């Protein structure tokens, strides 16, 4: 729970963000890191016109932020990339002003290189005396880099830029001379204080410009298994309006619906940040991402409605929306607008709180939005079991007002039994209580997520076939659909996430996690959702397969092999019979 004393201390740092804002960020409409789609004028302006179309259909957008690599490699953030913007950004500036949209820009805090090999930024003479020992970053407390950068930001602010997204930070960066004087922790403090002071000075001149903090500002993003520790420094809220809690990726919670595991990841990270004393309204959950690029796993707009509701229900004032807005039609726009209109008043009044357990542990959890007239309770079951949830554990009122289901995944129909709710495996549901139980607030169903109407574990004795291979066998007593789940762990019990890299040259995960089903030496087709490169990795495999009357009485063999691992893994398997 957020430390109340820290919460009181941080109140003085929110004056520049006085209400929730909606920010479109064009990353995922292109992708220069886990794909090879480069940002250019045409992509950026196409998405701008789509933003205007959605805005005219009621969707709230306040900002359009031009994400990474808009700039010339050797222009010190003062020149736009000429091959992508031959006529410069003037058209974008003009249209933003014309349509009441505030423009924003992405900035690397001090890194010159993404990952190991993508060098996206050259030094310029004004920065050379800040170059780090390895040349990969710039020191913020020595040399000319930070003063020059802040003057550059002031130039952009004078041209109308109202938001900066700070990414790719290395606060251990030191110059060759500094490396002889400062330990890494000392360098961290000096770099941190230099940036805090620089942004404070900037705000004195431009108090209406917002700052977003991304990679490098704390947080633990790698898995959803590690116990929570206070891993985010609340002092960053002195400079930044919001702190993001990780690029959307898959949780360590196995799900047949690929996209629900991604929802669980973002929910887990929001809880982690909240437990690190970051108020909900200052957490940018960064989870709404639609698109046709590798960064969002070529999702397009699959299961986007539940993703949108969760992104709003999490309570952050920095509502960020990424990717291809052209994927959303007019009917989608009406849903989008209605969801925003439902949740933004609760955000504005800080009337949202976390409820339930820890997402990564498979415990039911959710978000409670409340006012004097009623409540919205959004719940998620991240497990593979049917849960009977006592709603009194998720709401503060004892009167148990009238309630109604406003939105749910298709398939299994959640239902009330008194003050208890039956919820299916991997299922999301939005409940309206009191005033919000009215049918006017009904939002429909998530047709891209189908929940089994029945699911029962089958007793199978899974045994190791080799170091990183597990095999199970069972006699087919009845035909039907089956779901098999495997999870792999390192010897220390932590999840083993496999990745063959991102698009376009990455190895699909199903080539690293080999799952096969056979009946009497005949292969049975399996349905999987992870047959694609995943830059962020995956620690599980889930598949469904069907056995027919011809297989009755035969022996079914299920085998799982994890490739290219030097250590012996712990692999766990489970099998369920499933009925949709």
Domain span at residue 475 reads 456-579
CATH number at residue 420: 2.60.40.1180
Whether 494 and 399 share a structural domain: no
Q: Using the predicted structure, report yes or no on whether residue 134 has a pLDDT greater than 90.
A: yes
498 lies in some domain: yes
Q: Which of 433, 450, 467 is the last residue of a domain?
A: 450
In the listed set 289, 316, 345, which residue is the last one of a domain according to the structure? Answer: 345
Domains in the chain: how many in total? Answer: 3
CA distance 196 to 218: 15
Same domain for 28 and 79? yes
pTM: 0.95
- Tell whether 383 and 257 lie within a shared domain: no
pLDDT at 182: 97
In tens, the pLDDT along 282-314 reads: 999 999 999 999 999 999 999 999 999 999 999
Q: Write the CB contacts of 283 (distance below 8 Å, at least 6 apart in sequence).
A: 242, 243, 244, 245, 270, 273, 274, 314, 315, 316, 318
- The 10s digit of each residue's pLDDT in 204-242 is 999 999 999 999 999 999 999 999 988 899 999 999 999
Q: What is the pLDDT of residues 247-271, one digit of tens each?
A: 999 999 999 999 999 999 999 999 9
Is residue 443 located within the same domain as residue 464?
no
Instruction: Look over the chain and give the mean of its residue pLDDT values, rounded to a whole number.
Output: 94
Regarding whether 326 and 211 lie in a shared domain, the answer is: yes
Is residue 318 a part of any domain in this protein? yes
**Does 221 share its domain with 317?**
yes
pLDDT of residue 302: 98
Say what the pLDDT of residue 41 is. 98
Q: What is the pLDDT of residue 13?
A: 53
What string of H, E and C letters represents the secondary structure of 197-246?
Answer: HHHHHHHHHCCCCEEEECCCCCCCCCCCCCCCCCCCCHHHHHCCCEEECC
Residue 194 lies in a domain: no
Q: What is the pLDDT of residue 31?
A: 97
Report, as an integer, the average pLDDT of 98-104: 98
Task: Say which CATH number the domain at 504 has.
Answer: 2.60.120
Residue 158, pLDDT > 80, answer yes
Both 463 and 446 in one domain: the answer is no
Pick from 197, 177, 193: nearest CA to 185? 193
Half-sphere exposure for 455 (CA within 13 Å, toward CB): 24
pLDDT in tens, 415-461: 999 889 999 999 999 999 999 999 999 999 999 999 999 999 999 98
- On whether both 334 and 242 belong to a single domain, the answer is yes
Stretch 517-539: mean pLDDT, rounded? 95
Sheet strands side by side (includes 415-417): 387-390, 420-423, 415-417
pLDDT-above-90 percentage for the chain:
91
CA dihedral 54, 55, 59, 61 (to 10 degrees): 120
Note whether 18 and 164 are same-domain residues. yes
The answer to whether position 121 is within a domain reads no
pLDDT of 523-533, one tens digit each?
A: 999 999 999 99
Summarised one tens digit per residue, pLDDT across range 166-210 is 999 999 999 999 999 999 999 999 999 999 999 999 999 999 999
**Mean pLDDT on 325-351:** 98
497 and 533 both lie in a single domain? yes
| 142 within a domain of the structure (yes/no) | no
The predicted pLDDT at position 42 comes to 98
pLDDT digits (tens, 9 = 90+) for 362-391: 999 999 999 999 999 999 999 999 999 999
Instruction: Name the least confident of 298-312, 347-361, 389-403.
Output: 389-403
C-alpha to C-alpha distance for 262 and 276, rounded to whole angstroms: 21
User: What's the pLDDT tens digit per position in 41-91?
Assistant: 999 999 999 999 999 999 999 999 999 999 999 999 999 999 999 999 999
Q: What is the mean pLDDT of residues 98-127?
A: 96
Average pLDDT over residues 129-150: 98
The confidence score (pLDDT) of residue 15 equals 53
Residue 184 covered by a domain: no
Is the pLDDT reported for residue 401 higher than 80?
Answer: no
273 and 340 together in one domain = yes
Domain end point (choices 345, 371, 406): 345
Q: Which residues of 154-179 are buried (b: 16+ CB within 10 A; e: fewer)?
A: bebbeeebbbbbbbbbbbbbbbeebb
The average pLDDT across 510-524 equals: 95
Domain-located, residue 258:
yes
Q: Based on the domain organization, do 461 and 334 belong to the same domain? A: no
In a domain, 242, yes or no: yes
CATH code for the domain in which residue 334 is found: 3.20.20.70
């Amino acid at each position: 729970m957020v430390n109340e004393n820290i919460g009181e201390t941080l109140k003085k740092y929110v004056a520049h963000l006085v209400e929730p804002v909606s920010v479109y960020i064009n990353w995922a409409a292109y992708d220069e890191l886990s794909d090879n789609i480069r940002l250019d004028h045409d992509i950026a302006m196409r998405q701008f016109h789509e933003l205007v179309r959605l805005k005219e259909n009621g969707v709230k957008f306040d900002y359009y932020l031009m994400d990474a690599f808009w700039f010339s490699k050797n222009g010190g953030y003062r020149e736009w990339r000429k091959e992508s913007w031959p006529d410069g950004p003037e058209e974008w500036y003009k249209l933003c002003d014309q349509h009441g949209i505030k423009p924003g820009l992405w900035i690397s805090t001090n890194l010159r290189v993404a990952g190991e090999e993508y060098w996206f930024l050259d030094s310029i003479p004004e920065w050379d005396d800040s170059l780090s020992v390895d040349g990969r970053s710039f020191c913020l407390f020595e040399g000319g880099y930070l003063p020059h950068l802040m003057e550059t930001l002031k130039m952009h602010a004078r041209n109308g830029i109202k938001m900066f997204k700070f990414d790719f930070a290395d606060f251990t960066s030191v110059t060759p001379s500094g490396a002889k004087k400062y330990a890494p922790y000392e360098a961290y403090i000096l770099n941190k204080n230099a940036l805090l002071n620089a942004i404070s000075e900037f705000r004195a001149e431009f108090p209406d410009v917002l700052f977003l903090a991304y990679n490098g500002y704390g947080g633990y993003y790698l898995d959803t298994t590690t116990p929570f520790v206070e891993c985010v420094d609340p002092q960053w809220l002195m400079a930044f309006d919001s702190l993001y809690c990780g690029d959307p990726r898959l949780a360590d919670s196995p799900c047949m619906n690929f996209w629900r595991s991604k929802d669980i990841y973002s929910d887990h990270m929001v809880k982690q940040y909240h437990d690190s004393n970051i108020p909900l309204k200052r957490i940018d959950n960064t989870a709404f991402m639609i698109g046709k690029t590798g960064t969002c796993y070529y999702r397009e707009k699959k299961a986007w409605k539940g993703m949108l509701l969760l992104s709003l229900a999490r309570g952050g004032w920095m509502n960020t929306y990424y990717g291809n807005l052209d994927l959303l039609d007019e009917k989608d726009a009406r849903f989008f607008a209605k969801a925003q209109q439902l949740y933004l008043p609760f955000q504005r009044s800080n009337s949202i709180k976390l409820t339930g357990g820890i997402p990564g542990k498979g415990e039911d959890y959710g978000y409670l939005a409340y006012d004097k007239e009623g409540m919205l309770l959004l719940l998620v079951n991240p497990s593979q079991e049917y849960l009977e949830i006592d709603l009194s554990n998720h709401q503060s009122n004892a009167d148990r007002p009238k309630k109604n289901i406003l939105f749910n995944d298709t398939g299994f129909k959640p239902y009330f039994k008194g003050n208890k709710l039956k919820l299916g495996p991997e299922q999301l549901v939005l409940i309206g209580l009191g005033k919000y139980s009215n049918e006017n607030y009904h939002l429909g169903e998530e047709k891209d997520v189908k929940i089994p109407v029945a699911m029962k574990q089958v007793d199978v004795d899974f045994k190791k076939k080799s170091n990183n291979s597990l095999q199970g066998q069972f006699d087919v007593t009845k035909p039907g659909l089956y779901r098999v789940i495997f999870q792999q762990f390192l010897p220390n019990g932590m999840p083993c996430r496999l990745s063959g890299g991102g698009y376009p040259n990455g190895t699909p995960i199903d080539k690293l996690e080999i799952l096969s089903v056979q009946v009497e030496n005949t292969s049975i087709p399996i349905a999987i959702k992870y047959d694609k490169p995943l830059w962020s990795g995956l620690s599980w495999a889930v598949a469904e397969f069907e056995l027919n009357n011809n297989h009755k009485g035969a022996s079914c063999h299920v085998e799982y092999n994890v490739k290219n691992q030097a250590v012996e893994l712990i692999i766990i398997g489970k099998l369920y019979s499933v009925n949709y």
